[in-house]
């Protein structure tokens, strides 16, 4: 369903990586599973790392953050990928000490399909929560029209789209709604899978994209890379400072600036609704979950080498796929954590 040359190349990247990952003859195959949020970027990293170390390939199952957590907890993968950090209770339940390794930050875009409108829709937190609570049901609702006087919003029902699988993107999105709307926080809450009051479920970020592209008058949420690669319109959201902000890399980085003051060395922090005039309000870190003590010396060594490479050399790849690299101060902290990973000699 990609409609641009860039998107076509993007899809080929995923195909090449998927094919290469399945070839065990390439040497050691590191097994990973989890989040779809960073999958476009991870796919490119895995492919490009093969030019650095051709003896390593990757097999990555983009099954959602919940699936990634299950795989690493079961020790069925070398790393799990998640857009939601583990709780103290979950960490205690792991068979050994798990580390959260932040890789990048990303914005969750609120996307929509409004024929004849295109980009430019503005949403406040109350309106967005109202739509997902099922209280605002039509595109020409007065609350929407008031924020968008220059747009002729259609007299059509709003079709809400949400992730039906256990999703880190949903966790970031519902974390935001819980943070800004008391009714949502009380009735629905946050998590990788909640009881959505209204809407149509779709599996995976690609499923949400397909549902929005195929169905007029829909609204949904995806990581910004999926929106841009598929030329989906993204709403401007009103941030904590009262400004309407687009989900750009600069706005994502701005959200991290204030949060750095509260960052601890376990990196378990929410980046939603951060202060700052230029901060986009729905931003999240994404993590690789890795055991501090690796059981297999060869695989552990190769995993650590890859983690150091992506931290130091992958920034250009990060920005070309619309993700935001870690701030320098955070990257220095993460390098120390990677160096703490041990493997048998």
- Predicted confidence at residue 146, as pLDDT, reads 95
- Predicted confidence at residue 345, as pLDDT, reads 56
Residue 52, burial from CB neighbour count under 10 angstroms (0-12, 13-18, 19+): exposed
Check if the beta carbon of residue 35 is closer than 8 Å to that of residue 168: yes
Q: Write down the residue that tokens 């943070």 correspond to.
A: 179
DSSP three-state, residue 252: helix
Q: Write down the residue that tokens 């990634």 correspond to.
A: 68
- Predicted confidence at residue 210, as pLDDT, reads 97
10-residue stretch averages of pLDDT, the chain, 345 residues long: 41 41 61 92 93 95 93 97 95 97 95 93 98 98 96 97 93 97 98 96 95 98 93 97 95 87 91 94 96 96 96 78 86 96 83
Q: Backbone phi, then psi, for 140, in 5-degree steps?
A: -95, 20
Report the alpha-carbon distance of residue 79 to residue 102 in Å, rounded: 13
What domains are defined for the chain? 5-104+284-343 (3.40.190.10), 108-262 (3.40.190.10)
- Three-class HEC string of 98-157: EEEEEEEEEEEEEEECCCCCCCCCEECHHHHHHHHHCCCCECCCHHHHHHCCCCCCCCCE
- Predicted confidence at residue 15, as pLDDT, reads 41
- Predicted confidence at residue 322, as pLDDT, reads 82
- The rounded Cα 103 to chain-centroid distance in angstroms is 11
- Predicted confidence at residue 174, as pLDDT, reads 98
List, in sequence order, every residue forming a beta bridge with 61; answer none if it has no partner. 33
* Structure tokens given for 22: 């399945």
pTM: 0.84
Check if the beta carbon of residue 132 is closer than 8 Å to that of residue 197: yes
């Amino acid at each position: 369903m990609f409609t641009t040359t860039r998107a076509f190349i993007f899809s080929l990247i995923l195909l090449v990586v998927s094919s290469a990952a399945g070839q065990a003859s390439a040497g050691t195959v590191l097994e990973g599973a989890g989040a779809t949020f960073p999958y476009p970027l991870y796919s490119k990293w895995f492919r490009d790392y093969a030019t650095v170390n051709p003896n390593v390939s990757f097999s990555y199952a983009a099954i959602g953050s919940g699936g990634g957590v299950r795989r690493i907890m079961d020790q069925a993968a070398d790393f799990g990928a998640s857009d939601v950090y583990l709780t103290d209770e979950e960490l205690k339940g792991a068979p050994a000490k798990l580390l959260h390794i932040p890789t990048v930050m990303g914005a969750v875009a609120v996307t929509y399909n409004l024929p004849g409108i295109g980009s430019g829709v503005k949403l406040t937190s109350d309106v967005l929560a109202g739509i997902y609570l099922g209280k605002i049901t039509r595109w020409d609702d007065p609350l929407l029209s008031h924020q968008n006087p220059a747009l002729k919003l259609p007299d059509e029902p709003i079709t809400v789209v949400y992730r039906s699988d256990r999703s880190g993107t949903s966790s970031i999105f519902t974390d935001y709604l819980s943070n800004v709307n008391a009714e949502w926080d009380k009735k629905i809450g946050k998590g990788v899978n909640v009881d959505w009051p209204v809407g149509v479920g779709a599996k995976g970020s690609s499923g949400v994209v397909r549902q929005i592209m195929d169905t007029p008058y829909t609204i949904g949420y995806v990581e910004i890379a999926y929106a841009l690669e598929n030329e989906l319109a993204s709403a401007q959201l009103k941030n904590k400072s009262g400004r309407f902000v687009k989900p750009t890399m600069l706005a994502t980085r701005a959200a991290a600036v204030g949060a750095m003051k509260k960052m601890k060395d376990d990196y378990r922090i929410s980046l939603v609704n951060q202060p700052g005039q230029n901060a986009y309000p729905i931003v999240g870190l994404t993590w690789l979950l890795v055991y501090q003590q690796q059981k297999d010396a060869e695989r552990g060594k190769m995993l650590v080498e890859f983690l150091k490479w992506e931290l130091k050399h992958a920034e250009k790849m990060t920005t070309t796929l619309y993700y935001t690299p870690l701030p320098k101060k955070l990257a220095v902290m993460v390098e120390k954590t990677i160096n703490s990973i041990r493997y048998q000699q």
